[in-house]
Structure 1
Amino acid sequence: MNKLNLLIVEDDINTINEYKASIRNFDNFYLVGTTNNSSEAVNMVKEYCPHAVILDLELHLGSGNGLIFLKQLSELALPYKPFILVVTNNISNVTHSIARNLGADFVITKNQNDFSCKMVLEFLSSIAQSTINSNLNSSSAAQAAADISNRETLRDKISTELDLIGISSKLKGRQYLADAIEITYNQRVSNLCSIIAKKYSKTDASVERAMQTAINHAWRNTDIESLERYYTTYINPQKGVPTVMEFIYYYSAKIKKSL
């Protein structure tokens, strides 16, 4: 079964967490990311080509707003247009009409009696396959879908490798490491920490520190047999653990050989 690649644009962290918790109960969603910034959301659409976007119009705790996102999205030459589901506290019919004119496909208001994040996901789940199919009408769209599938496979492989050596998803540096391995899988870059720091609005130093902390955690807490089985390259005996870049380049090369 094909999964619907989903982007969530929402400024309330509790709502985002509720979506994430609810998504675990569905087997036909793949969450490509979340953001509370409308400009970043446009960039994420270009990068991830989601099939659908859950869009909050009023990003008071973030940056920009949903109408700006819709306008900027309409100006892009995308291989296919994602299904835009507006989920908002705004009950103005005028605002809803503007959103639809800018490309919103459906509007759900948060003040309706039966509203919940689960209900939103149930609605999307009910139209998931038709939404995926409707966007596969051109060779460029088909290529974009293939690229998404390949990226899902890569991300799953990275996640498995990190699990095997005990780098838990609870560690802040794990996501940074996963992103870094994915980037270097595709190309070598000289400003890796800066790229990741910009994505998460962090400093270069804090990103590098979090990644090294995650690596150190694995080498302190995972049994030596597992580490030697799954991390087979040389480690400087004076340091006892890989450096951030040694770790990233090892896994990007290892995964490239296996895929």
Structure 2
Amino acid sequence: MNREFDGEQPKMRILLVEDDAMEREKLLACLEQAPDVKVIDWTGSMSEALHLTEVQRPDAIILDIRLDEGDGVSFLYHLKELDMIRRPYILATTWTSDKATIRSILDNGVGFVQVKSQPGYQEKGPEMVLSTLRRMRPYFGFVDKPQGTQVNTSGMTVLDPDSAMRRRIAEKLGRINVKIGTVGHTYLVESILIASKNKSGVVDMENEIYPELMNKYRVTKWSIERIMRDRIEKTWKKTAVEILEQEYTQQVDPEKGKPELKEFISYYASLFR
């Protein structure tokens, strides 16, 4: 990883995920003055935060739980699906002091929760966040976790047989510019993976794909379907016709202007059986 150095120690590379403009500006003003910090980017969007995390590989993320698009809790779940050898340290900020919510985000990868309603935060919030990151920096390495692995009952680590296939599917979707890091991208990759395992060639959305995704991501069938359809529609709107015709050779209904969800999954699943 290419880093900028401050003296002998590399700067902390931080991604700021905060949708509130006033909060964001205060944090940026503090962080950008710190000699040991480099703010690599900021966003108020969950999907963009996932994309930036995968591409930029920050050392730490300051994550607001409430966002313009998506939310911090969902971000944590989708972060687990990214193929990363080294996970960033995550400091979450939130107005809630609800114990169940805080326990949930701590259990799903957050290293520290900064409650905005606590005394002193309104006056010195950014300084408190920076101070915590500096204290925790020596322990950033302890959040490293090999991806594409599972632990079997004997306690030995074994390779996840699906990790390589997920990368191949993602690479194929990348050729038509399905935006990586989005929830729709994640659902489409998983759906194609599931369908590719059915050697009969049948794509069973109702009995195989939707139930597995609903169980894995704890979301409704309606939400899964809507998000995947929306991602396909956006891809067909922004990608050049020449690229689509070259990469997606199955005929598309000219009146609809884009493939149906099931036929899209079926087409790509057939490439990986």
Structure 1 length normalisation: TM-score?
0.49
The structure with more helix, counted as a fraction of residues? 1
Structure 2 length normalisation: TM-score?
0.47
